[in-house]
Structure 1
Amino acid sequence: MGRRAWAWFAAVLGCLLLAPGALAVKQAVAATAIGGPLNLLLVGIDPRNDWTAPLADSIIVAHIPADRSGAYLFSVPRDLVVQIPAFAKSGSPTQRTKINAAMALGSRIGERRYDPAQGFELLAQAVGDVTGIRRFDAGAVLNFGGFRKLVDAIGGVSLPVDQDVVSEHLKPDGHGRDRLPECPGHDNCHRPYIGVQKTYPKSEQPVHFKGWEALDFCRQRYGLPHSDYDRQRHQRQFVAALAKKLKRTIIGDPAKLVQVTTALGSSLTFIGGGRGVAEWAQALKVLRIKDMTGVGLPGSALFEGGLYQGEQLPRTVGPFFTAVVQDSIPAYLRANPGVVTVDH
């Protein structure tokens, strides 16, 4: 994996959209309401530079029931092997590869030029092919710098830590760990870091995270019992915690909203499905933000010819995806305990 930043699931749209009161600014709202069940696609990318194709390093689907009784968040493994459809806008042919590549394949708009919003289109198609969600109502692409800025702009985020986590990348003071002498450059060694490490001990009491700590914590998978699946859970936990903090701190405070959105700048690409932020705020103002449920999918390693190719999902998750499309997740979870896991 090298030094790739395991960046950022579009926490900000998940938070801004799922914290509706926070966005109740004085803007005109369309007469046609946003009704029915909603599915949002939240994507995090690793923007190493402006001329490198972005990969979707985190993919979260947020399902909001028609009755606005809460929200369900589930992660699509970034290394899930899928058939990515052809995409005329970028000239990308159909190909079988990891789903995170769909963002890169779809985003190309010219020689070493990439557009995250266009890449989102192809990724949404690929995720739709996996889940059966034929259209996402809204979505966002956020980079890891934006995630860090967001957390700092709202004064940090607190949440319990469900297992001991040790940073692969940072020292306790937040500086990068030293590298092995034979691994001086980017991505030329699998695990090039040495020396003292930042740690996040298990704690039933909420732990306060600054922006850099939140980003670092959500990047980690090495040393965790379920590797990337534990990391996915931590990302979902942060989406929920961020949404709740945003609702508490920004509701009724337009000045604070301006401060937060200014801090994000170009870190966030918003896809509103033809509707603006104010319309989404109005539609979701009755959402019970405290009732957010994270759901983990039972993925596993895919080997072909003795070589690791990526991740796969069992057929048993098909009925869960059907429940998402049919807006019947609570009934599915009650009738099928243990097929998917519910975050705690």
Structure 2
Amino acid sequence: MVVSGGALITTKALVARYAGAVDNRDLFGNAAAGAPKRAVADIKGPLNILLVGIDPRDATSAPLSDSIIVVHIPKGLKQAYLFSIPRDLRVEIPPFAKTGFQGGTSKINAAMSYGSSIGNGKHDVAQGFDLLAKTVGKLTGIKRFDAGAIINFNGFKEIVDAMGGVTMTIDQNVKSEHLQPNGKPRPRRPECADNSCAHPYIGPQAEYKKGTYHLEGWQALDYCRQRYGLPRSDYDRQRHQRQFIKAMAEQALSKDLVTNPIKLDHVLRAAGDALIFDGNGHNVVDWGLALRGVSSNDMTLVKLPGKSLFSGRAYIGEGLDPSAEDFFASVNTDSIASFLVDNPSFIEKL
């Protein structure tokens, strides 16, 4: 988003600085699978990009994908459609030879964990992304993602702070499960030290009320992570995350950022520190230039209908409405615009 727009790419030094700052990894298993290295060609649509948000963990902890967003860009590279995959969606996770995982049905956010083990109790988030991408592909019918990125939530905060905060409209009152009004963590109940409690925190809560506000990095991250106490839980959180991405894009392309080289450089470096990226032979600057025609006004937020699933009284995850299959078909035929004309309820209203 930050490099979208030719005005932001001003010197070769800046291009090299930003492209080199990002951690470029093999997120789709191409190198490990012995796939031939494809020649770098022009980036042409239609395109599908997989974005995953994670909590930073050490190498001995299995990663979980807390946010999964697919971006579809039609053939003309002038629009973008964003839709979220619920983190608790029950799906079929395919076998993964690298870890010996035999496949099975589970919540989709576990796919990264099942694919991440590299032995000796250590985990590789990039390898875990590979299995998650295969799982999302199996769910949606997307045979191949053209690019992928992992962003850690701490890095997300740094990007927002480097931008000077972000202005967005909050569409419902939200109370923080995790933070106090001053941004510090809420105290944990002594009896909940083993993470066995559904609501382990006590004390005053940060609040986000309906209206338009300028959010600092910690507020933005906190707001986008909340689901407890919301009428539709994770579906509300997914909507808030998509809305915030659009707000970030609008501010990233604003004149204030474009014409402020110091702030721009801070944002570029923060984004580089926060991202793991695989552009299938193209670096992030190549992608930024290719998508320079997409502005925040060209982004359509799509909501997938779903509901909670139970086994008896026990919650086992989320399930999508059968109509989501028709939406996925429109993604694969690059006909989302026509689908949304016939199915306007899928469009997120801001």
Q: TM-score, structure 2 length as denominator?
A: 0.86
The Cα shift of 1:293 comes to: 1.2
Superposition pairs of residues 257-272 of structure 1, within 5 angstroms = 257-264=264-271, 266-272=273-279
1:225 and 2:238 equivalent?
no
Alignment-mate amino acid for residue 304 of structure 2: L
Preserved contact between residue 117 and residue 271 of structure 1 (Cα < 8 Å): no
Alignment-mate amino acid for residue 269 of structure 1: I
Match of 1:97 in 2: 106
Q: Where do 5+ consecutive residues of structure 2 fail to align?
A: 20-38
Alignment-mate amino acid for residue 40 of structure 1: I
* SS of equivalent to 1:297: coil
The Cα shift of 1:240 comes to: 0.9
In the alignment, the residues of structure 2 paired with residue 17 and residue 314 of structure 1 have an alpha-carbon distance, to the nearest angstrom, of 36
The Cα shift of 1:133 comes to: 0.8
Residues 173-218 of structure 1: CA distance to partner in whole angstroms, max 9, x if unpaired? 11112232322x2513210112211111101xx3000000001101
Q: 1:112 to 1:25 in 2, by over 3 A?
A: farther
In the alignment, the residues of structure 1 paired with residue 53 and residue 197 of structure 2 have an alpha-carbon distance, to the nearest angstrom, of 24
Match of 2:293 in 1: 286
Q: 1:25 to 1:51 in 2, by over 3 A?
A: farther
Alignment-mate amino acid for residue 208 of structure 2: Y
Q: Where do 5+ consecutive residues of structure 1 fail to align?
A: 1-14
Select 2:308's aligned residue among 273, 298, 301.
301
Select 2:166's aligned residue among 157, 163, 186.
157
Identity of aligned residues (%): 52
The Cα shift of 1:250 comes to: 4.6
1:330 and 2:298 equivalent?
no
In the alignment, the residues of structure 1 paired with residue 142 and residue 154 of structure 2 have an alpha-carbon distance, to the nearest angstrom, of 29
Residues 267-316 of structure 1: CA distance to partner in whole angstroms, max 9, x if unpaired? 32111112111211221122233221111111111122442211111211
In the alignment, the residues of structure 2 paired with residue 121 and residue 190 of structure 1 have an alpha-carbon distance, to the nearest angstrom, of 31
In the alignment, the residues of structure 2 paired with residue 112 and residue 20 of structure 1 have an alpha-carbon distance, to the nearest angstrom, of 45
Preserved contact between residue 142 and residue 267 of structure 1 (Cα < 8 Å): yes
* SS of equivalent to 2:266: helix
Preserved contact between residue 177 and residue 201 of structure 2 (Cα < 8 Å): yes
1:311 and 2:318 equivalent?
yes
Match of 2:43 in 1: 34
In the alignment, the residues of structure 2 paired with residue 191 and residue 18 of structure 1 have an alpha-carbon distance, to the nearest angstrom, of 41
Match of 1:86 in 2: 95
* SS of equivalent to 1:290: helix
* Larger deviation, residues 21-30 vs 170-179: 21-30
| Aligned-pair Cα RMSD in Å | 2.3
* SS of equivalent to 1:100: helix
Preserved contact between residue 5 and residue 289 of structure 2 (Cα < 8 Å): no
Q: TM-score, structure 1 length as denominator?
A: 0.88
Q: 1:332 to 1:232 in 2, by over 3 A?
A: same
* Larger deviation, residues 144-153 vs 328-337: 328-337
Alignment-mate amino acid for residue 187 of structure 1: N
Aligned length, in residue pairs: 326
Alignment-mate amino acid for residue 283 of structure 2: G
